[in-house]
Every structure is written in structure tokens, then in C-alpha cells.
Structure 1
């Protein structure tokens, strides 16, 4: 554990702060009692505790061969300031969960979106097992948020677990959970996205459990795939949570969704879903082309540019023929 914290956290910066300022008494360690009255388990403040161990070269730090490399070694007086630090002692798992939930969900020291969701899932399942009529509301009260603030992360995590464990979407689901969970959580705030993957408008605990067994694997796969880079691409199709509203509108529109599948371009698909008339769409395209013509000297021209322009010209001619044919047919 000590080695892992040293590798994954910036403990050296924390150590420098402790040497200069000592331990901040207003942020005590939270420790849990154990059957041995002389031993405690640190449940909050492990980075700070690990830093202290390395600075003081405790047996655990020496055994792990961990030490900080400072240009100027700390003095004995500086180290004495961190030999005794304030702690708050809790005596039960319930106290631990209550404290961590309030501090990291609704408090000032919030966890990552994934960490919040994992904690909330445990609390919701526990409340439901204990007979809570509305576990989302009850857990929300304990951690300083509302039912929506609990339900959203819970639903996002549970849906990914179903995708991973039951729908054979393990690799993609794990990637989204590990790297894109914040965007995924935001996605499930969209009614269009929830409807598309089969969650619908389920709000209470029992309805959500039922809906989780009725998810559409193909649709869920499509949405998850859009969150991770595909073969031959460097970026995911859905890169930013600010695009969620647009993405939801595209999913809800058959023609726009088909355009998204074919061209893998959210902006293009959004144009299909925006409800503009054909003349409006053509005027927008014309403006874009006019801008290209005006700035043609700013581009380097080669064979690929000539081919692209020829393709555009041919497509414009085809569109012109189709529009005229439609008009003649209506006459």
C-alpha cells in the first residue's frame, strides 16, 4: 500500500509542504478502531500518513525502500512537528461510511465521478436491503445531496456493470468506467439516451432494477463505442460532455442516427436532426463554400484537393438533378 501510494500520488510535494508548515491540525486523520487497542486503520488521509511514514523512515518505509530526495534534508525539529498528528477516531463501519459520504459526495473534498458512484452504489444497495422505500432519497440525506444526485451516478455505474457482466461488452465498458465515466454519467441525464438504450424513464429503485434487465445490447454498444476511440482513430466520436444534448437529439432522429453511423461525424448528424428546411440547409452549405472560395489562396493545393473538389462538384450536380426531378414529378 505504501509503495502504491508513493507511485501513484505526488507525495514529494506533500512532503515539502509538511516540512515547511508542519501538519495542518484542521485536517485530522480519520482512523478506525481495531480489536487491538494499540492499532488503528487509517480510513481518511492515507496520502498524508504515507508521507509522514516516508519522512520519518518508519519500518514500513525502510522495508519498502522508500525515501524522498531533497536538496536540503529536513531538520530534526521539522520532523518532530509531524511525529504526533491529530486524529478523529471512529468505532464502526457505519460511522466510516457516513463520514466519507458526507465529505466526498456533498462536502468540500469530492471524489472522482467513478469513486462517488461506487460508494453510492454500496450505500443504495444497503439501504434497499434494509427496507428503505426510497433508498436514493435516504442516502442523499446522509451524504448531503438529493435523490437525483444519488440516482444518476448509481444508474450510470449499474448500467456499465450490466454491459460488462451480462451483455458481453466487457472491454468497452471497462474503458468507459475507467476513463470516461464522467461523460457517461452526464449522458444518462439525457432522456433521449436513456430511451435509446432501454432505460426509459425509470426513477424508483424497483423500476430501475427491472429496466436494467431490458437494456438493448446493440444500442448500448453503439453509445459505449462512441465514447472510446475506434480502430484507426485517435479520438472518440463523443469527446466532450457539452455535446451530450446534441448527441441525444441525434439518437432520437432516425435519419440523423443513420448519418452518424455512416459518417461518424456528430456535427454532420446534428445538421440532419436540426429540423431545417432544404433551402436553409443548402444556403448554409453555400455560405461554407463561399468562404472556401474567398480563402482558397490560404490552402496548399494538390491532387487530393482537386479530387475532393471534383467529388463535391459531382455531388452538387446530382443534387441539382434530384431536386429538378422531384419538382417535375410533383407537377
Structure 2
């Protein structure tokens, strides 16, 4: 029996929340995590919306939980591996119905609508033989599907498929419906997060909160070169993305991009991640970042020549506007206001031309010709 095709029923009390659920967070998972702890962690997962639906319509069989029978706390148990939010909502509802001390919102929900007679006694579920039997389903549903996990949760799930199930990037890609480069980058990003966790100078909780920024940064040449990361590495090679001789750079990278309890990151917007990669390609900009106790992203970006395209755009836009004005300016040759504006433009143009050796001579030569 890989996957049972028949829907079975049991009581809420016989179903266990999954202590290995990636949504609980890396620091909160493990086979010894208590059910009460899991339920408390799930308290703010908008469970009340599900509860209201159960009270009004019951628990539909087509939304059956997926469970696996395995050892939990030393006993055989039915552990829910898909549908933990639904089960948690039922458990909170049952507590409220039994009169236990619980949040007021749950008491109000149960007071407004009487639960269906068998809501807590006939919960539909489908049993699978092992977790591996539904890897593809869970991966598609939560990594690339309609009920996506958070970025760090997706990456952790991909890492488990690679490390626990011994799958290649391509095999994971086929299971979850993603693309191989995305799977690879998720895995390397997650391994980098774990590597950061082992470094005392890195506040890893700040990194995990912005895992998507970490993921995006690894696609830039600047980050790959600064940390000496091989973004094409196979799983065995990628388990330790940053070599030991680059751990100081790794601490710098984490501080600049994510900050810590004392300092704000210099990169304040995810849209600056590509610019940050360009900064790390500049020796002058990196030296500035490394020596400054409170570096500025704008200064570093300027040192890296990052604002050159913007300056070029401004000058070209000014030239376009001047050309447009020239076609009609002769009509107002006696205007004092236009003369003053032209004087300002001329002074600025002369100053700009003086930045480039020989440019003023070239312009005068063009005028003579």
C-alpha cells in the first residue's frame, strides 16, 4: 500500500500534528516537539477562517487529510503530513467546545454556531505508507503550486528531498514541477543559511527572515566572486558553499545585506540586490565597505561606478530637452528670463565639458567648421 485510495475516518484525538512540518521553522521541528508546542506555534496561522467553514459546512471528504502511520513519542500514531492547518483548527474548536480556557475569539466562534454532530469524531483522511509516497504531491502543492510555503520553507523541503531521499537536482525538478536552476539555487541558498548558522559573528535570524533576498543575491556575479561560491555545484560540493578562507567575507556579506541587532543593513530594498552585486565586483567599493564602521550603500555604489548609467541618462535627457528648446528659442531672443536660463545652462555645460580632456577644444573646432 503506497497510497490508500479509500477515505477513512477517525476522531480528532487520534490524529497528530506533524512535528516535522517545514512551516514550523527550522528551530521548531523535530520528532520530540510536543503537540501542545506545535499547536501554540500554529496559533496565528489564520485558523479561525477554517474553523468557521467547518462549523457551517462540516469537513468535506474531498479535503481529506493525508496521514502516515509512524512512531511518534514512542507509540504508533497517525501523523498528518498534509492538512495540518485543518487539523489544528479542529483541535482549537474542540477545546473551545469542551469549555477549556482558550482565546476569546475561539469561544465566540463556537458560541455563534453549534458544531455538526460528528465534526470531531469523523475526520476524513487518506493513509500513505511512507512520506516519500507523497513527496511529489507536497512539493508541487507547496513549492510551485497554489498553497506555497515561505521561501525558506521551500528551500528546506528541497534540501530534504536531496539529502534524505538522495535525489539529484533534475529528479527534484521533475517531482515538484520547478526548473533545475531554481532547485539548485534553492539548495545552495539553504546550505549557505546553515553555514551562516555556524558562524558566531552572523545574526542568522535576520538572514532567515529575508531568505528570498539571500536567494536573489546568489544569482549575481559579485556575490559569487566575493564569497567564492560555485552556483553550478553538485549537491555534494554545495553542502559547504563558502570555503573556510572566505568566512570573514561571509560575515561581512551577512552584515551588509541583512544587518544585526545593532546595525541596519546597507541594502534596504530587495530591488538593490543586483546593484549590491555590482558593488562587490569593485575593489575600491569593497575596500570602502570593509574599512567603514557605518558604510553607505550610495557611496559604495558610486565608488563602483554604479551610478554611471543614471548620470548618462540625465545628461542625455538634458540634451534632448535643449534640442527641443532650440527649435523655438529664437522666437524669444529678447526674453530676459530665457537669457538667464541659457546662461545657467551654458555655465553647467562648460563645467561638464571640462571634466573630459580636450572636449572643449573639440566643441570649438566643430563650431569653427
Give the TM-score of the pair, scaled to structure 2.
0.63
Matching residue within 138, 163, 170 for 2:196: 163
* Structure 2 partner of 1:17: 53
Q: RMSD of the alignment, in Å?
A: 3.6
* Structure 2 partner of 1:300: none
CA contact (8 A) 1:256 1:269 kept: yes
Q: Runs of 5+ in structure 2 lacking a partner?
A: 1-34, 319-350, 359-369
* Structure 1 partner of 2:271: 242
For 1:69 and 1:227, locate their aligned partners in 2 and report how far apart those are by CA, in whole Å. Answer: 44
Deviation at 1:31, TM superposition (A): 1.2
Q: Deviations over 1:86-116 (max 9, x none)?
A: 3222111211433322221122211111111
* Structure 2 partner of 1:138: 171
Give the TM-score of the pair, scaled to structure 1.
0.70
Cα pair distance change 1:104/1:77, threshold 3 Å:
closer
* Structure 2 partner of 1:70: 108
Matched, 1:95 2:133: yes
* Structure 2 partner of 1:266: 297
For 1:74 and 1:118, locate their aligned partners in 2 and report how far apart those are by CA, in whole Å. Answer: 40
- SS of equivalent residue, structure 1 residue 7: coil
CA contact (8 A) 2:142 2:154 kept: yes
Matched, 1:199 2:229: yes
Cα pair distance change 1:25/1:236, threshold 3 Å:
farther
If you compute each CA radius of gyration, which structure gives the higher value, 1 or 2?
Answer: 2
For 2:77 and 2:90, locate their aligned partners in 1 and report how far apart those are by CA, in whole Å. Answer: 17
Aligned residue pairs total 276
* Structure 1 partner of 2:332: none
* Structure 1 partner of 2:80: 42
Cα pair distance change 1:187/1:82, threshold 3 Å:
same
Q: Runs of 5+ in structure 1 lacking a partner?
A: 288-319
- SS of equivalent residue, structure 1 residue 239: coil
User: Which of the pair has the greater relative contact order for Cα pairs under 8 Å at 6+ separation?
Assistant: 2
- SS of equivalent residue, structure 1 residue 159: helix
* Structure 2 partner of 1:301: none
* Structure 1 partner of 2:211: 181
Cα pair distance change 1:64/1:121, threshold 3 Å:
farther
Matching residue within 254, 272, 285 for 1:224: 254
* Structure 1 partner of 2:154: 116
For 1:72 and 1:35, locate their aligned partners in 2 and report how far apart those are by CA, in whole Å. Answer: 33
- SS of equivalent residue, structure 2 residue 268: coil
Deviation at 1:201, TM superposition (A): 4.5
Deviation at 1:257, TM superposition (A): 2.6
* Structure 2 partner of 1:302: none
